Amino acid sequence: MKAAVTLLTALSLFASSASAAGPKPKICFTKAEENAEMLVRGGLRLREGAAGCDERPYEMHTQPLWDQVNQKFGAKFKQQTDIRRAAFVREFAKDAENEVQAWDGRTVLYFRFYPLSPVYCIQIKKNLEDFLKTGWGGFAKTAHLYRIQVEDDYRLCN
């Protein structure tokens, strides 16, 4: 009887530790995760560009446009961020939070310190205005411009 209880206890501990480990890594991003990453990067570009181009010397009045975009589509951006985060949790189960922060930091810093110019700021303003006119679908089409960058950063599943 003691042997059976010990065996059952050991099996239950093994099963609970295996399920706590989370899903098995795929060592790649799925199509949905690739798409989410492109949308997140497109949003970061607009957010950081709007902040920079709103200040002197450009004063393009882009921050209020971004605020409108964020108010209207913030839930959709969060949904994409959650898809991306789930991929990181799957791929980097032991250190997912640090991995997410490292990639987020790198991507945000890239767009935050992107060299501003009148041409760039005019483009950011136009992109924000177009986003508000065409909605999420139009933005999703332009976000595919980040496909090459995403493919350079992550291995994609076949």
In the chain, domain spans = 26-153
Q: What is the pLDDT along the chain (158 residues), one digit of tens a residue?
A: 444 333 333 334 333 344 445 668 888 999 999 999 999 999 999 999 999 999 999 999 999 999 999 999 999 999 999 999 999 899 888 887 888 788 888 889 999 999 999 999 999 999 999 999 999 999 999 998 888 888 888 888 87
Distance CA 155, CA 102 (A): 17
Q: What's the full length of the chain, in residues?
A: 158
Distance CA 35, CA 117 (A): 29
pLDDT at 21: 54
pTM: 0.80
DSSP 56-86: TTT----HHHHHHHHHHHHHHHHHHHHHHHH
pLDDT in tens, 106-146: 889 999 999 999 999 999 999 999 999 999 999 999 998 88
